Structure 1
Amino acid sequence: MDAQSPRCNNTKEGGAGFAVIIVPVLLSLSTVVVVFFILWSLYCRRPGRQSLVKIVYNAGHGSISIDAVSGTRLRVQGPLDTWQMPADCTLEALESMQMGHYGNIYKSQLRRGCVTTAVLVKTLQGSNSQATAEEFAAWAQFHAVVCRHENLVRMLFCQTQKLPMYLVLEASSPGNLLHFLWTLRQNDVEKPSQLEHFSERSVYLVAKQVSAGLDYLFSEHGLYHGDVAARNMLIGSGLSVKVSGLGMAFEARQMGKVAKPWVSKVPMKWQAPERIMQLPLTDRSDVWSFGILLYELITLGSPPYPDMEPMEVFPQLQKSHRMRRPESCGRPLYDLMKYCWMWNFKDRPYFSSIIKLLDSYVYLADTKILCADDKMDITEYKKAAGFLSSF
């Protein structure tokens, strides 16, 4: 027994010594591994290691592509997680439409499984600065919070947490209301069956939806549109209408005011007197412009004050001149136009009152199809309307 005791003691002492060596080595190795992964993560995030995503699509006349650095996480604030583009959704058949404030706007088809939906895609292009990315994300946030009414263009999804950044908005067909009105002048253009019978009663139905969208914008969010016109409305099947062109409402919500570049884009013939005089705007400045929209609707897209140059309009308004009642315009509709064109904004109706008036008058509206004698010449229209650039 005495002979075995020393061997047991030696084993215990050796094990203890072995542990003293192994534990520090393991700790050192774990530290090295952690540091390695941290450095590798930083290395992979360097600009030189970012992958370039190319969205390629066929627009019917060759392939077009949008290049953007992907995988870059952006420091964008706001509860937009639930709005991010799902992994099982894809955008197909993108077709370039026009250049928007932040970048190109495309028509597209949103595919999710076996279901496809017509959409508009608004992209951020030309600048990848943090400030621009945050502003674009705020634009998405505006759609998520404000545009929650059936008569405002609504956002379906967005991608704001990595590049390329874009918004996916619901689309309407035929689309632009002004262009649709012009097609009604053309007998040789095929029109959707549910839209071809466009009458004075149709004007009431369209106008009521626009009023509802603008009333919601002000009553729920304290915002005015700033550019109410047929060119900023979208028309869809069954005469469904969506208010679009909300850039000034977005800026007013973000900054508390609208910058001059936005204001200068609105042609004078659509502006209320207080706006021309650079006085504070109100929701009833939109009401004045809504009266001009009624004129556009009943004349199938004619420019307002067709016999005047833009700079001649304001002096005539000061003399109480108002546009004459258009042909095919009933007395109740014309009375509503003049109500919207009261000089003092306090004398104009609220949109909530306009909705009630439209409901009351619609049964008096003519159901005869509206027509115009000639096609619209775009160049002449832009000149008469006072546009300085394309729209």
Structure 2
Amino acid sequence: MAVQAQCNISSGSDPACYDEGSGPLAVIIIPSLLALSTLIVVSQIIWSFVTKRSSAQKITSSSSNVNEREHVQLDAGIGSLRPANVLGPLELPVQCTLEGVEVLQMGRYGPICMGQLKQDNTSTAVMIKTLKDRSTQSESAEFMDLVLFHAAVSKHENIVKLLFCQTRRTPMYLLLEASVPGNLLNFLWSLREDRCGESSVFSEKSVFLVAKQIAAGLDYLHSHHRVIHGDVAARNMLIGSAFSVKVSGLDFAFESRQKKKVDREQEANVPVKWQAPERMMRLPLTDRSDVWSFGILLYEMITLGSPPYPDLDPSEVLPRTLAHYRMKRPENCGAPLFDLIKYCCMWNFKDRPVYSAIIRLLDSYSYFADTKPLCSEVQIDVSEYKKKAGLPS
């Protein structure tokens, strides 16, 4: 009786506190429940492992599909670019034809040509970048990326526009809008032969007008797409009627984005007289490096296409620039414009203005700009120019 009383008081979970009639049942049920709960826990662990592994495989498969069939985003500004979605509307319509095609030069991927695009009884001047025959699969894929790049960044009035492309069959090519008169550098040279603007009045005020458009295009490239042009110069700008200007020459920008870096071969294609000090010293390229080149471009325009640093050979530019050498104020260049040139060409890239500030300064300075036509009696010898400018012959 004492033992029975003790068991009634103590916890019923104690195995010793069962009477003789319930003992065998407890011996069977309790181990079974323990085994069942263990089995459930193990099953949950196994199921969780299998589920996670399956999800990982799906993600890997999805990434593989993206790499094989889709062009992932260039950056947050450009967004996801898929050929089916982006290039479909840009494929050359069947009713369009190309006429008068002339080869200008050989490019990275194939011949670069000029021609006329015929569409609905209208004719448009175009530049044609083609992919050479017998290109490798890698070259074809890179050319497709070039088309996508132009499709993404050409949505601004001051960026050369991608009109159409042909990627569904060979030969593959893209059509970029051309301008008349065309290349800004050649236009500036033509003004020297125009006897001080008899047919086209290009003044210091015109320099501000053109410069503002170029700055707006470069600002768009960087602020919307994180694209650094890398080769800002008059030779890479297109000028049209009423001095409308578009930024062109985006090959350097595309190649550096593809490779995720700037290699020596790319850098060698940019003449040293247009390079900022940090570029000469092989330091990282920034948008402010473009601002330095923009200052050189202002010098080109106010001098009607003279080579920068006219008193220096290309080999002398680096040591003289390191010694803080600066170009002299050109003839016909007002103080506000020369101040802007010096501001853009500050030694420390952090001291140079951003494009939005440049645009504001161009707006305010234009009120003080001279309106008389710029002129120069010195004609340009192209071979001598290339030598002084450090351009390939």
Instruction: Compute the TM-score of the two structures, normalised by the length of structure 2.
Output: 0.76
Match of 2:292 in 1: 288
Pair 1:362-2:366 in alignment: yes
Partner of 2:114 in structure 1?
A: 107
Identical aligned residues as a percent? 61
- Identify the residue that residue 230 of structure 2 maps to in structure 1: 226
**Match in the other structure for 2:176:** 169
* Deviation string, structure 1 residues 251-281 (Cα, Å, up to 9, x no partner): 2332322232111111111100000000001
User: Which of residues 96, 107, 131 in structure 2 aligns to 1:124?
Assistant: 131
Q: Tell me the CA shift for residue 352 of structure 1.
A: 1.0
Q: CA deviation at 1:76?
A: 8.5
Q: 1: CA distance between counterparts of 2:195 and 2:303?
A: 19
Could you tell me which residue of structure 2 aligns to residue 85 of structure 1? 92
In 1: Cα distance, 2:258 partner to 2:240 partner: 30
1:147 aligns with 2:154: yes
User: Which residue of the partner structure matches residue 11 of structure 1?
Assistant: none
Residues 1-391 of structure 1 mapped to structure 2, 5 A cutoff: 78-79=82-83, 80-187=87-194, 193=199, 196-387=200-391, 389-390=392-393
- Per the alignment, in what secondary structure is the counterpart of residue 325 of structure 2? coil
Deviation at 1:132, TM superposition (A): 0.9
- Is contact 2:91-2:165 (8 Å) kept? yes
Counterpart-to-counterpart distance in 1, 2:295 and 2:286: 15
Cα separation, 2, equivalents of 1:308 and 1:189:
27
- How far the C-alpha of 1:375 sits from its partner, in A, is 0.6
Give deviations 1:51-95, integer Å, cap 9, x for gaps: xxxxxxxxxxxxxxxxxxxxxxxx886322221111111111212
User: Judging changes above 3 Å, is the alpha-carbon distance between structure 1 residues 88 and 126 closer, same or farther for their aligned structure 2 residues?
Assistant: closer
Does the 8 A contact of 1:76 with 1:160 survive in 2?
Answer: no
Q: What is the CA–CA distance in structure 2 between the aligned matches of 1:255 and 1:384, rounded to whole Å?
A: 31
- Residue identity in the other structure for 1:342: M
* Residue identity opposite 2:308 in structure 1: P
Partners of 2:327 and 2:309 in 1: CA distance: 6
- Cα distance in 2 for partners of 1:249, 1:148 equals 16
Q: 5+ residue gaps in structure 1?
A: 1-74
Contact map agreement 2:166 2:173 (CA 8 A) in 1: yes
Distance 2:319 2:110 in 1: 38
Q: 4+ runs of 1 displaced by more than 6 Å?
A: 188-191
Aligned residue number for residue 65 of structure 2: none
Secondary structure in structure 2 of the residue aligned to 1:184: helix
SS in 2 for 1:119: strand
Give 3-state SS (helix, strand or coil) of 2:192's partner: coil
Deviations 1:111-167 (A, max 9, x none): 122222221111111542211111111100001111211111110110112100000
Cα distance between partner residues in 1 of 2:270 and 2:119: 38
Q: The residue matched to 2:114 in structure 1 has which SS?
A: strand
**CA shift for structure 1 position 312:** 1.3
The CA distance in 2 between the partners of 1:245 and 1:151, in whole Å, is 13
- CA 1:306–1:127: 2 relative to 1, 3 Å: farther
Partner Cα separation in structure 1 for residue 196 and residue 338 of structure 2: 29
CA distance in 2, matches of 1:76, 1:372: 53
After superposition, the CA RMSD in angstroms is 1.9
Q: Is the 8 A contact 1:97 1:107 kept in 2?
A: yes
Worse overlay, 110-119 or 362-371: 110-119
For residue 101 of structure 1, report the CA deviation from its aligned partner.
2.1
**Structure with the bigger percentage of helix:** 2
- Aligned residue for 2:169, secondary structure, equals coil
Report how many aligned residue pairs link the two structures: 313
Q: Aligned with 1:121: secondary structure? A: strand
Deviation at 1:190, TM superposition (A): 10
Distance 1:247 1:111 in 2: 26
Structure-2 separation of matches of 1:329 and 1:368: 12
Q: TM-score, normalised by structure 1?
A: 0.77
